[in-house]
Structure 1
C-alpha cells in the first residue's frame, strides 16, 4: 500500500511538472542615495528555441500599426520617443524595454489570469495586441502618470502570434519612470484593466497581483534580525549561524515563493550610495532566482536547450538611461 502511494505521488509530481510550462520571470526595483532608480529582472521561457538575447533599437518618429485578429488594421500612431528593448523571434518587442526618457516597461507572464478584450471589428481603430501595448507605452510617454491617464484610449485584444512558437501571451506589465513612480498593469476578466502600486517594486507571475499582496501576510515573521537564544532547563539553544531571522523563507521557484523571496531581499537590501552600486546589487539579488537546467523538468524530459531556466538577467538604469544585461 505504501509503495502504491509513493507511485501515485511520483506520477502526480511528474504530471505537475509537465503541465505547468514555466515562464517564471522575477522583477525588482532598487533606488540609490543619488536619486538613481534601477529596474532589474530575470527572463525565462518555456520553449527551447528562445532567443531573448538580442537588443533592438527603435527610433523616434516611427509609424506603428496595431495588430488585431484581422491583421495589422488596429490603432495607428507615430512614436514620439525612441526606445531600446530585448527581443525574441525577430519581434519588435520583448521581455522589457526602456525609452530615451528613462521610462521602463516590462512584461511578465500571467497564465490563467490575463484575459484580453473580445475583438470588435467596429472598434479596430483603437485596438491592439498585448505586444503593441508595450510598444505604444514606450514610444508615446515619458512618465507612468501619462500612461495611466491614457490607458482608456486603447483596447487590448487577443492575437495569436505564431512567431512565439505558438505560445499564448498572457502578460501583465510593470512600468517605472526615473522619478521612481511605478505601477503594475493587469488586464483580466475579458478586458478589465487593474492598476496596482508595486509592493517594494517586486513582480513575478500568477496569480494576480492582489493575491500576492495578501499572501505576504503569511510571512510577517520574516526578519533580517537573528533569532535570540532560548534557554530550556539545562539547555541553551542558539541559532545555527546567521540568517536565522529568515527561517521559513520559501526557496522554490513558484511565482508566490519567488515574490516573497524577492520582497525579502529588496526590503533588506543594504543602503546604496549610487546608481552603479544599485545595478551591481540588482544582479546579486537576482542571482538567487537563477533557475538551473532541470530544476523544473523531469529527468527523462530534460531538453538539450535552455527551457524554463534563466536565460537573461537584465538591469535598467533609469537615471543614466542605460540597459545592462
Structure 2
C-alpha cells in the first residue's frame, strides 16, 4: 500500500482530481477540481495564437495555437488547465514526493519549468499523438514558481477530442508519457500505482450485493447501495482516484449540452468544503473552483467555490487572433462569457 511518509509538506499544499467523460452525442470533456489553501485567484484566460513566453532568465518558448483555461498573470500568463483550438485539453495536478526534474536547461531541447509545461502543451500540439511525437524534445527543469516560491511538483493529464487520454509524469528515471485507460487522475503516488490499486476494488458495483447465508441465518443489506460498500470516502489522492473511477464508470451520460452538469455531479463526490481538510498551520485546503473543458467546441467552463454559477468562454476566431492574452473576471458576463 501507499506509504504515508510521502504525504510531505508539499502534499499538504494542494490536491486535485481530474476526470474525462463522453456525452451521448459523442463529444469528449475533461474536468478537474482545483483544491488549494493558498488563494490562487484564477480566472478564465484566452491565450491567442503565436505568443512568446520568456522563461527567467533568458530562455523563451513560442506557442502556435490559441487556448483558453484558468490562469493568472505573473509577468506573463500561467495556466493550470485548458483546451486549445484543436480540442486538445490538459490539466496540471500536484505530484509531490514523486516528481523529479532536470537540474538545468539542455541545449537543443524545449526547456520548461514545471509550471510552464501546460502553456506549451496546449500552445503547440493538436492531439495526443502530436504531443507523443515531441516528448523527446522536452526538458522539464528545476525552476521556482514566482508565486509559491518553490519548484512546483506537477504531473499532467492530457486528452483529445478523439477520446485518447494520457498522463505525463517526470520522475528520477525520466519522462513518462502513459496511456490513461480509466480517464481519471489525482495526485501522488504515480499513475501506474493507482491503476494497480484498482484491482483491490473489484467488489464495487452499482447494484446491490446478493443476500448471504451465515449457517442458518439469512442476511441482507440494510437498504439499497450495498454495491458500493468499501468505497473509500476520505480526501487522500488514493481514495479520490478509486471513488472517481467508479462513479465515472457508472454515471449515465447525457447530451453534450448537459454533460457539464453531469460532470459537476461526479466532482461533487471529491469536492472539499472549507474546514474539513486542514494543514498544520490551521489553513484549509478547499476546492477553489472546478474547470470543465469541452473538446468538441473548445469551450472552457469555470465554477468557483464562492458562487456555484458556471460561466463559460468559447474560443472564437476573434479571440484566437487577438494580439495579446485576454482574461475574463468571473463577474464579467459580457460577450462570450455567459451563464450556462
Question: Smaller-chain TM-score range?
Answer: 0.7 to 0.9
Match of 2:296 in 1: 319
TM-score by length of 2: 0.81
Q: 4+ residue runs of structure 1 moved beyond 4 angstroms?
A: 16-20
Distance 1:146 1:89 in 2: 28
Residue correspondence of structure 1 range 189-204 to structure 2 within 5 A: 189=172, 192-204=174-186
TM-score by length of 1: 0.84
Q: Is the 8 A contact 1:205 1:255 kept in 2?
A: yes
Residue correspondence of structure 1 range 22-33 to structure 2 within 5 A: 22-33=13-24
CA RMSD of the aligned region, Å? 2.2
Please tell me whether residue 74 in structure 1 is matched to residue 59 in structure 2: yes
Match of 1:60 in 2: 49
Please tell me whether residue 209 in structure 1 is matched to residue 191 in structure 2: yes
Match of 1:288 in 2: 269
Deviations along 1:85-126, one digit per CA (max 9) or x if unpaired, are 201464512320111111101101000101111104x62763
Match of 1:222 in 2: 204
Structure 1 unaligned regions, length at least 5: 1-12
Q: Is the 8 A contact 1:93 1:135 kept in 2?
A: yes
Distance 1:244 1:89 in 2: 48
Residues paired across the two proteins, number: 296
Deviations along 1:4-37, one digit per CA (max 9) or x if unpaired, are xxxxxxxxx9xx8978514110011110221110
Q: Is the 8 A contact 1:75 1:124 kept in 2?
A: no
Q: Is the 8 A contact 2:111 2:141 kept in 1?
A: yes
Structure 2 unaligned regions, length at least 5: 303-340
Residue correspondence of structure 1 range 80-159 to structure 2 within 5 A: 80-88=64-72, 90=74, 92-120=77-105, 123=107, 126-159=110-143
Change (3 A) 1:117 1:107: same
Any idea what SS the aligned residue of 2:189 has? coil
Match of 1:187 in 2: 170
Any idea what SS the aligned residue of 2:293 has? strand
Deviations along 1:162-205, one digit per CA (max 9) or x if unpaired, are 22x32431100111111111110001106x11122213200000
Select the structure of larger CA radius of gyration.
Answer: 1
Distance 2:8 2:233 in 1: 17
Match of 1:166 in 2: 149
Deviations along 1:206-247, one digit per CA (max 9) or x if unpaired, are 011011111111111111120112244554322111110110
Match of 1:50 in 2: 40
Any idea what SS the aligned residue of 1:95 has? strand
